[in-house]
Amino acid sequence: MPKVDEKPRVYLEEFRVKNAPEDYGMADEKWSLKKFVKKLRIVIVRMDSFEMEFDLIGIQPAFANAFRRLMLSEVPSMAIEKVMIKNNTSIIQDEVLAHRLGLIPLKADPRLFEYRPEDATEGTEFNTLEFSLKVKCSTNKNQPKDSFRTDDLYENHSVYSSQIKWHPISNQATVHKEQDIGPVHGDILISKMRPGHELDLHLVAVKGIGKDHAKFSPVATASYRLLPEVTITRDVHGDEAILLQSCFAPGVIGLDSEGKAYVREARYDMCSRNVYRYDEIKDAVILSRIRDHFIFNVESVGAMPPNIIFIEAVKILRDKCKSILDELNKFN
């Protein structure tokens, strides 16, 4: 056994995941803000406008999970909710078309909008975005001879998300810039058409949350994993070391100049536990994960940068706590 430090662990055994024997779960710990503040650490590992990886260290899984859940289902975003079909002569069915349009991620920042009241018949500039999609497919008048490529034969044979046009309501044009509103990706294929097919749609986007429908989720996915830890318990040399190295993701196990295996960076391990397939080196490692070290991975759909999404999630949790406290305080 390695020396027991204060880090809580789960052990990845061959056939099951086991908590450390002395670990009774962090829920039992008495909450102390001081201790928590001392332990809590956030390290941003990687971030761009769509994806972020960061470590949340020293926190209970309940919190980490709450943030994950909130990002998935309660951080709002804008999505097309209503499609008025004025004309649809394409082969795609009205409902399916509407469903596809709904899933197109929009750039519009949900923080700048309000929820639309359920009983509202008309949207206002503060809660609604209106778009239109008007495409008509026709035969290409000056098509090159002997070409059978659809691109040459027809015009507008494929409808892409870039063809969605924003129609600002009253003051919206001054508040928002056009490039900040429309679809995140312009190359999403909505429908294919042939001459004679026509789409004339009026689209209404509103603010909503992922709990309602997955299209309102601001993330493609948000999830975490626990930090892996690999401990080598005995010396592993030569062929065994190479075998050991091959059992882990690249970069996890290093070989020193003498061909002895050492743990270089356990973070990269995929926890495939393939060591257990080899009886000869099975006993040489202990696989475990740190229970309060969460490696978050947030993939934004594009409306908000991932760090903002996380902060929004934290805010929602804060507001929820506040509201429950308010409710409880009523009885005091």
Partner 1 sequence: MGEINKKQNDWDSSKGLREPIKALEDKWKLVPSFLEVKGLVKQHIDSFNYFINVEIKKIVQANEKVFCESDPLFYIKYLNAYVGTPDLEEGFNVSKRTTPHECRLRDMTYSAPITVDIEYIRGNQRVIKNKQLIGRMPLMLRSSNCVLTNKSDYELAQLNECPHDPGGYFIIRGQEKVILIQEQLSRNRMIVDEFKGAIQCQVTSSTHEKKTRTNVIVKNGKYVLRHNALSDDIPIAVAFKAMGICSDQEIMQLVGTDDTIVKKMAPCIMDCHNLKIFTQNQALAYVGSKLKVKRFQTGNAKARTPIDEARDLFATIILAHVTVENYNFYVKAIYLAIMVKRVIEAENNKAAIDDPDYYGNKRLELAGSLLALMFEDLFKRFNWELKSIADKIIPKVKAAPFDIVKHMRPGLIANGLFAAISSGNWTIKRFKMERHGVTQVLSRLSYISALGMMTRVNSQFEKTRKVSGPRSLQPSQWGMLCPSDTPEGEGCGLVKNLALMTHITTECSEEPIARLACNAGVEDVRLLGGEEINHPAVYMVFLNGNILGVSRQYKRLIKVFRMFRRRGLISAFVSIYPNHNQRTVYICSDGGRLCRPYIIVEKGYPLVQQFHINDLNRGIRKFQDFLNDGLIEYLDVNEENDSHIATREADIDPYVTTHLEIEPFTILGVCAGLVPYPHHNQSPRNTYQCAMGKQAMGTIGYNQKNRIDTLMYNLVYPQCPMVKSRTIELINFDKLPAGQNATVAVMSYSGYDIEDALILNRASIDRGYGRCLVYKSAKTTMKRYSNQTSDRILGPSRDAATGKVIRAHEILDIDGIAAPGEMVENRQVLINKQMPPATLNPVTQGQPQQIDYKDVPITYKGPVESYIEKVMVSSNSEDAFLIKILLRQTRVPEIGDKFSSRHGQKGVTGLIVQQEDMPFNDRGICPDMIMNPHGFPSRMTVGKTIELLAGKAGLMEGKFHYGTAFGGSKVRDVCAELEKHGYNYHGKDIFYSGLTGEPLEAYIYSGPVYYQKLKHMVQDKMHARARGPRAVLTRQPTEGRSRDGGLRLGEMERDCLIGYGASMLLMERLMLASDAFSADICDACGRLASRAWCHACRSSAAVSSIEMPYACKLLFQELASMNIVPKLTLKKYC
Q: Which residues bind partner 1 (CB under 8 A)?
A: 10, 12, 15-18, 61-62, 64-66, 68-69, 72-73, 85, 88, 91, 93-96, 99, 103, 210-211, 213-215, 217, 221-226, 249, 270-274, 277, 289, 291, 297, 299
Quote the least distance from Cβ 258 to partner 1, whole Å. Answer: 27
Quote the least distance from Cβ 247 to partner 1, whole Å. Answer: 9
Cα–Cα distance for residue pair 30/143, rounded to 1 Å: 76
Quote the least distance from Cβ 312 to partner 1, whole Å. Answer: 15
Q: Which is nearer to partner 1, 57 or 64 (CB)?
A: 64
**Contact indicator for 213, 124 with CB cutoff of 8 Å:** no
Quote the least distance from Cβ 198 to partner 1, whole Å. Answer: 13
Quote the least distance from Cβ 113 to partner 1, whole Å. Answer: 21
Q: Which is nearer to partner 1, 166 or 294 (CB)?
A: 294
Cα–Cα distance for residue pair 316/312, rounded to 1 Å: 6
Q: Which is nearer to partner 1, 167 or 211 (CB)?
A: 211
Structure tokens at 263: 């743990």
Cα–Cα distance for residue pair 91/192, rounded to 1 Å: 8
Quote the least distance from Cβ 159 to partner 1, whole Å. Answer: 17
Q: Which is nearer to partner 1, 165 or 277 (CB)?
A: 277
Burial string for 64-88 (b: 16+ CB within 10 Å, else e) reads bebbbebbbbbbbbbbbbbbeeeeb
Quote the least distance from Cβ 217 to partner 1, whole Å. Answer: 7
Q: Which is nearer to partner 1, 31 or 331 (CB)?
A: 31
Contacts 24+ apart (CB under 8 A), 38-47: 39/292, 44/307, 45/295, 47/305, 47/306, 47/307
Structure tokens at 88: 């649809």
Q: Which is nearer to partner 1, 178 or 265 (CB)?
A: 265
DSSP for 58-124, please give it: S--HHHHHHHHHHHHHTS-EEEEEEEEEEEE-SSS-HHHHHHHHHTS-B---GGG--PPPTT-SS--
Q: Which is nearer to partner 1, 225 or 260 (CB)?
A: 225
Integer CA distances (angstroms), 251 to 13, 34, 270, in order = 22, 37, 11
Cα–Cα distance for residue pair 110/301, rounded to 1 Å: 13
